[in-house]
Structure 1
Amino acid sequence: MATKKSEETGAMARIPYPEPDNLEKEVRAQLEGLAPLNIFLMLAHGGGLLRSFVDLGTYLLFKTRLDPVLREIAIIRVGVLSASKYEVFQHERIGRQLGMKSDLLNAIHDGPESPCLTPLQGLVIRYTDEVVRNVRASDGLFHLLKDQLSIRPLQELTVTIGYYMMVCRFLENFEVDLEEDGQTEGLKVRR
């Protein structure tokens, strides 16, 4: 598959997407079992990297105790702070699948003081902002959120923020194109 040009921006990825026929058999088989997303195709250059990347992402999306709406709020906020249109687009789509309305999605862009957010949603955005910008959240915010969520969901939130910071940096450095049809066909996330 040649480098895909984004319909919206006319941009092209920094390096060509690999031709599936040229990939290792194991990587090609894994790619065939995934949603047809350009990020996965670009990651296929890395061989076994794709499996590890997908395994952690799958765990974070489907197996944590963290409320899925709070998870998507954090992921979208990371995308906003990282100026990653791909990440924001894909996870706003997932958010809508979870029932998130436009006012909530817009509030994530506006920040933690938006009147559309619940107090807990605002705390998640504040925490995400501090982790992305400062690495370490303030003690007060950390303990306030720990009391609201409990330890395991707070750990899951923190790992989710870090994982999607990595995702955004990969997307932006390789200039991964949004899929031509703008779809996340095959990627279904439920509440």
Structure 2
Amino acid sequence: MRIAPITPGSNPDLAALEARIAQARGRISPLYQVLLNSPPMAEGWEQLLSAVRNRSTLPADLRELVILRVAVLNGAPYEFDAHVPHARAAGVPETLIEALRLPSLNAIESLGPLQSSALRLTDQMTRDIQVDPALMHQLASSMEERQLLDLVVTIAAYNMVSRLLVALEVGH
């Protein structure tokens, strides 16, 4: 890691924040141990990512598909591995989890129309930043506005996560 992690319990000033993170996450992962170097960032990060994971209108399987795909596209195996159990729990088949590792989504035949569109959006937002207006129109016609916003925020948030992990070599 390029920034030393804070060992949980080593700084009494962080006790309340560590307790909130542990309560929300079940533990204080290496990612949060690094984020504890900046308590305001750790706190904001935890609030945002908890909202994305726990208060989104996206079906859990779709959420996990896009999170896994972002991790693959950004070369963040730590994040991919962290979300495989969540994807399995959401009912994502093992063959689909593995297929998300492929450079192209074209070979994946088991995707439904919404999954396919959401993953194309993930690829466009992550690789190109710009999104094809026709793809956004297609998604807007098959999702409620809040659900579409939740999808875009999930993709954006997990780009943030994976880019921090890669830049700071967390999980190496």
Fold shared, TM-score > 0.5 on shorter chain = yes
Counterpart of 2:4 in structure 1 is 16
Distance 1:123-1:31 versus aligned 2 partners, 3 A rule: closer
Counterpart of 1:46 in structure 2 is 38
Counterpart of 2:169 in structure 1 is 175
Distance 1:32-1:155 versus aligned 2 partners, 3 A rule: closer
Percent sequence identity is 28
- Given that residues 76 and 166 in structure 2 are in contact (C-alpha distance below 8 angstroms), is that contact kept between their aligned partners in structure 1? yes
Deviations 1:48-96 (A, max 9, x none): 2111101111111111111111111111110000000011111112101
Which of 124, 133, 141 lines up with 1:147 in the alignment? Answer: 141
CA RMSD of aligned residues (A): 1.6
Distance 1:32-1:124 versus aligned 2 partners, 3 A rule: closer
CA distance in 2, matches of 1:109, 1:148: 26
| Residue type at the aligned position of 2:40 | G
- Given that residues 21 and 46 in structure 2 are in contact (C-alpha distance below 8 angstroms), is that contact kept between their aligned partners in structure 1? no
CA distance in 1, matches of 2:132, 2:161: 24
CA distance in 1, matches of 2:167, 2:12: 22
Which of 70, 80, 97 lines up with 2:62 in the alignment? Answer: 70
Counterpart of 1:86 in structure 2 is 78
Report whether the alignment pairs 1:156 with 2:158.
Answer: no
Distance 1:63-1:170 versus aligned 2 partners, 3 A rule: same
Please give the TM-score of this superposition, normalised by the length of structure 1. Answer: 0.80
Counterpart of 1:123 in structure 2 is 117
Deviation of 1:135 (Å): 1.3
**Runs of at least 4 residues off by over 6 Å:** none
Aligned residues: 166
Distance 1:40-1:125 versus aligned 2 partners, 3 A rule: same
Deviation of 1:29 (Å): 3.4
Bigger helix fraction: 2
| Residue type at the aligned position of 1:151 | E
Structure 2 unpaired stretches of 5+: none
Deviation of 1:23 (Å): 5.6
Distance 1:43-1:119 versus aligned 2 partners, 3 A rule: same
- Given that residues 145 and 154 in structure 1 are in contact (C-alpha distance below 8 angstroms), is that contact kept between their aligned partners in structure 2? yes
Please give the TM-score of this superposition, normalised by the length of structure 2. Answer: 0.89
Which of 144, 159, 165 lines up with 2:159 in the alignment? Answer: 165
